[in-house]
A and B are shown apart, each in its own frame.
Chain A
Amino acid sequence: MKEKLQAIQADAIAKIEAANDLDALNEIKVNVLGKKGELTQVLKSMKDVAPEDRPKVGQMVNDTRSAIEEKLEAVKKDITKKQREEKMKNEVIDVTLPGTMHMKGHRHPNQIALEELERVFIGMGYEIVEGPEVEYDRYNFELLNIPANHPAKDEQDTFYITKDILLRTQTSPVQARIMETGRMPIRILAPGRVFRSDEVDATHSPSFHQVEGLVVDKNITFADLKGTLEQFAREFFGPETKIKLRPHHFPFTEPSAEVDVSCFKCGGKGCRMCKGSGWIEILGCGMVHPKVLKDCGIDPEEYSGFTFGIGLERVALLKYEIDDMRLLYENDMRFLKQF
């Protein structure tokens, strides 16, 4: 009996080892372990074995069965692995072929620059607000210390609708509107469209955008303005950016300054972008003029504030190295696609 089992086992293992595919293995399994298989036949002949020997023989049969099953499993694993590898060999793709992209639209560069600005200032606690584009002379000029006949009115080449209503030349009227509400403290950023009667060319447009910032509270200082703008410049143009405040004049601020940032292209060494100076003019700012505070109903003895105005197109043109402002308003897909 023992020999017979050993023979079955040896034969089965030899066949298993010779098998090339899963079908062959299955056939061996059926032939040896199946209902009519060789080993099953041996089990069936157990009735001819003496009862006292039966446990021993049973054990032998089970051992044989286990050995064969183990072998079957091992070889099955091998074959599966081989087959999978074979299959994968045929599935090699050219991974350098282009990816499939869903056609997406693009944000306007002006908008990208604006959102970046908003992100920086929201982080510093500024609320984004808007004001009307068609505005009263009172807000655009008078409350900003630009009375009737002030030469600044000419400088800004205003589009008028009526004597008192005009297209705002700046986002500064939003300052006056916010201050007038009397809600303190004020920390706002007011982006928007402004208008000046400039003919269209590579650097001018009769319609462009400004972003106005205003902070009014107790004890706001010129140093706070400088620090705020430094923070902004580093966030917006890069951590190495430096700023330079130069004295200037705006009717609604005192002291006033124009601000240059170190050229973000050459880092200040001087290049074509900064016309060799290492600096790029970026915005105007100052401490809110006490007369403006007063006219808007805020006591300049108690409160002080600063304000700044950024030309959005200017920033966008510089940041993306766009050489002609007209591109921003033409909406050529080949232009927009680059952002």
Chain B
Amino acid sequence: MNTPISWLKAYVPDLDVPVEKFVEDITMSGSHVESYEKKDKNLEKIVVGKIEKIERHPDADKLIICQVNIGADAPIQIVTGAPNVKEGDMIPTVLDGGKVAGGHDGGPLPENGIKIKKGKLRGVESFGMMCAIEELGSSRELYPEAPENGVYVFPADADVKPGDDAIEALGLHDAVVEYEITSNRVDCFSMVGMAREAAATYGLPFHPPVVPDTVKGGDVLNYASVEVEATDLCPRYCARVVKNLKIGPSPKWMRERLAAQGIRSINNLVDITNYVMEEYGQPMHAFDLDTVAGHKIVVKRAKDGDTFVTLDGQERTMDSGVLMICDGEKEIGIAGIMGGANSMVTDSISTLLFEAACFDGTNIRLASKRIGLRTDASSKFEKGLDPNLALEAINRACQLVEELGCGEVVEGVIDIYPNPVDPWELPFEPEKMNRLLGMNIPESTMLEYFDRLGLTYNKETNQLVIPTFRQDLHCMADLAEEVARLYGYDKLPSALPCGEATVGKKSFEMLVEDIVRDVCENNGFSGGMTYSFESPKVYDKLLIPEDSELRKAIVISNPLGEDFSIMRTVSLNGMITSLATNYNRRNKDARLYEIGNIYIPKALPLTELPEERKKLTLGMYGEGDFFTMKGVVEELFQKLGLYQAFTYNPQGGYPFLHPGRQAAIQKGEDVIGYIGQLHPEVVDNYDMKGEAYVAVIDLPMLASLATFDRKYEGIAKFPASTRDLSMVMDKSIFVGQIEEIIKKHGGKLLESYNLFDVYEGEQVGAGKKSVAYSMTFRAKDRNLEANEVNAITDKIVEALKKLGVELRG
């Protein structure tokens, strides 16, 4: 929403604050100003100049020398290349030391304008410059009388004389303020509404237009009839008729106001409908009554598949949800969106029918979306207009028709309004409002604010009467906001909630997450963040089989594109993509972790919310290998009281991991995650090279197992016995299997074991590896006898032999 200050002043004559202050004040009273533009920015020392005499430049064909009367004793000399001037013309003229806003080409305006100084043009002195409209920061859009090429010449009927302020004469001493109006304040999408706000902000008198009323029915019924079939979509339809039309230009004041709104003047009739739409926020439509078959308007739903040619010449397909304006035979307009080409107003029009209606906002919004046509009118209707606006607006339009002398208004109005909306009442509850605000604003002050806003107070009943244009006021809290915003949010006191104390805390799961982050970062992994939605192609990239459960993902019905169309069921894609980004930007190493959800549907299509599982995903390339990654995971488990709680099962069968370098991380049969080197084909699919490692841990499961309970076990008092085992075995035997045996047979006396050597190579033979463990035995209550330890060791050795391990030394 934009308002020129000058237009607001038409209704709030006492409004007299610099625009810089106005924008702050009106923002603080609730109409947030997004920006403002001073029309006279960088326009300095610009007066009306009258060309007294023109001579040819002696040394330049394209230049002329003008003697310009600027209202001073003597004329000044200005050299110009403007092709369109003649003696006697009145022209905006910038004097020596003045400023203009921009260049004559109409390009972007420089921040500080352009300084104009006297100088010589091809040897002839020039003491100023005559201005094109573009140099004044405006355009031919807004000043259609300006020439395409050349300086602006005031029209012959302009009331100007040499030496006048040219900027004033052009109506450029103004500012246009742009507001961000919130969706609840439909009334503020109009000049009258914003003027009411401006007046309320300062407590100034507010003078909306005074519009003469007319009779319901009356003479108009002899010209036209209206029938509303779809009353659910059209709560009100007003129509009036104007005859003996005289189409012509609008007066300057109206053109200027429309110009300031960026609306180009067309003719008096079109300008009036646009003007009323800006003034009241009520869109209007004009039909050439002679083209309306049977002079009858019918408001009804379209039929599915109807095609209709709109004003812009486009053929559009309708459906039964679209409301149409029809005549006795055919469709002539899409209600509230755009009129039809078949009833378009042309210069030959003699009788017109004005429409001011109220259409269901939601239906307009949805219909305009479906048709793919959003207009100024539809964007106003879709906010849900006050039906009581329609009559006032149509009467205002007719008033302007008479004022501008562009036709004869036929007496009476056709007003189809089966369920009138009346003002409603709310109790005046000052103490409740003060309690909600934490304030002590006097009752009288509150009532004064309400008065400014157009609410009336009935002392007898203690009720406030809410005018229908304030569709947002329905309860005490709504009224409290009105009080607070006019009182000033900045003047509200500050307090802190008192009452029952609460404990500030994080959940156990969150504490576990904090530790996860610390461990990752301590190991060189940085926190990353990736999207929750991705492309279904991800599954192919990750080599996930066609029939995998993982492919059963939630599909977004209106995604931004296929690349963001499913909710991830695997957390790897984002991570690998990030690794690839780093790789392709030639970062030598990358170590990343992310904590984020995957989304597992319970049924598809969704009938209930999916299971969201938080996953820790680690990824790295560069320095380090599988065991670097495993070290991080193990450190994490250790920190969470889960030292050696998990086993690493090489038979996880993860398709996206290297088949010989992967493990499911398990506690018994339960899989808490996996770890491995990315399958080389996956690495390829992500446009990377070399080895990359990932690990994924299920955080809810981790949190359910994690414990911070630690019990002191005492420091060993009795000596330990150690035994070393050195063995050779097939490469296919995993040390995990050996450790299982050591743990199983080591019993209570086995305090710890430690793998201290693994070797593969010529000395042990092909397909073999040698492994060495050191085992420590200790009893808490006595010295261990050598034969006790030997007996245990023997059992371990025996079991190892059964596994096919050959003991050495």
Contacts and interface: CB of A to CB of B under 8 A. Distances in A.
B591 A331 contact: no
Contacts of B525: 105
A110 B529 contact: yes
A197 B532 contact: no
Interface string A214-251: 01011111111011101100000000000011111101
Interface in A292-339: 304, 328-334, 336-337
Given A245-B489, A333-B589, A126 B365 contact: no
Contact of A128 (B481, B507, B524, B592): B507
B609 A124 contact: no
Contacts of A165: 606, 609
A308 B597 CA distance: 25
Given A107-B527, A187-B504, A223-B437, 16 more contacts: A128-B506, A133-B612, A134-B610, A161-B567, A167-B533, A199-B560, A221-B438, A223-B439, A226-B495, A227-B495, A247-B28, A251-B184, A289-B477, A304-B436, A328-B529, A333-B587
Interface in B518-542: 520-533
A256 to B, nearest CB: 7
B543 interface: no
A332 B472 CA distance: 48
Interface in B585-630: 585, 587, 589-593, 596-597, 599, 605-606, 609-610, 612
B492 A226 contact: yes
Contact of B362 (A134, A135, A149, A331): A149
A220 B497 CA distance: 6
Nearest to A257: B489
B496 A228 contact: yes
State the 9 A-B residue pairs at the shortest beta-carbon distance, nearest first. A223-B438, A221-B438, A249-B182, A255-B481, A108-B527, A122-B504, A227-B494, A331-B578, A247-B30
- Counting chain B CB atoms within 10 Å of each CB, the highest count among A107, A257, A289, A336 belongs to A336
A290 B502 contact: no
B556 A167 contact: yes
B504 A125 contact: yes
A106 interface: yes
Contact of B524 (A105, A121, A129, A199): A105
B585 A185 contact: no
Contacts of B184: 249, 251
Given A154-B365, A221-B495, A337-B526, A193 B532 contact: yes
A162 interface: yes
A151 B365 contact: yes
A21 interface: no
Nearest to B587: A333
Interface string B556-581: 11111000100100000000001001
A254 B437 CA distance: 10
B526 A336 contact: yes
B626 to A, nearest CB: 18
A290 B530 contact: no
A221 B495 CA distance: 8
The size bracket of the interface on B is: 35 or more
B597 A133 contact: yes
Contacts of A126: 502, 504
Interface string A42-76: 00000000000000000000000000000000000
A128 B506 CA distance: 5
Contact of A219 (B435, B485, B560, B585): B435
B435 A332 contact: no
B485 A255 contact: yes
Contact of A152 (B183, B521, B591): B183
A114 B375 CA distance: 42
B16 interface: no
A262 to B, nearest CB: 13
Nearest to B484: A255
A247 B485 contact: yes
A132 B609 contact: yes
Contacts of A289: 477
Interface of B: 27-30, 32, 182-185, 361-362, 365-366, 382-383, 435-439, 472, 475-478, 480-481, 484-485, 489-490, 492-507, 510, 517, 520-533, 554-560, 564, 567, 578, 581-582, 585, 587, 589-593, 596-597, 599, 605-606, 609-610, 612
Contact of A106 (B484, B498, B499, B527): B527
B214 to A, nearest CB: 34
A185 B502 contact: yes
Given A132-B612, A223-B492, A224-B438, A329 B560 contact: no
Interface in A111-141: 111, 118, 121-129, 132-136
A199 to B, nearest CB: 6
Contacts of B524: 103-105
Contacts of B567: 134, 161, 167
A25 interface: no
A258 interface: yes
Given A127-B503, A161-B554, A222-B438, A133 B383 contact: no
A56 B365 CA distance: 126
13 contacts: A105-B520, A105-B523, A133-B599, A152-B183, A162-B557, A207-B531, A220-B499, A221-B435, A244-B489, A249-B182, A258-B32, A331-B529, A331-B592
A235 to B, nearest CB: 13
A114 to B, nearest CB: 11
B32 A248 contact: yes
Contacts of A105: 520-527, 591, 593
A254 B609 contact: no
A111 B517 contact: yes
Contacts of B498: 219
A129 to B, nearest CB: 8
Contacts of A136: 609
B484 to A, nearest CB: 5
Given A151-B383, A227-B495, A255-B484, A160 B530 contact: no
Nearest to B581: A330
Contacts of B523: 105
Contact of A247 (B29, B499, B564): B29
A32 interface: no
A212 to B, nearest CB: 16
B346 to A, nearest CB: 36
Nearest to A187: B502
Given A104-B521, A105-B527, A128-B505, A222 B590 contact: no
Contacts of B489: 226, 244-247, 257
A331 B495 CA distance: 41
Contacts of A249: 182-185, 472
Contacts of A161: 554-557, 567, 605-606
B521 A107 contact: yes
Nearest to A206: B560
A16 to B, nearest CB: 49
A307 to B, nearest CB: 12
B522 to A, nearest CB: 6
A149 B364 CA distance: 11
Nearest to A160: B557
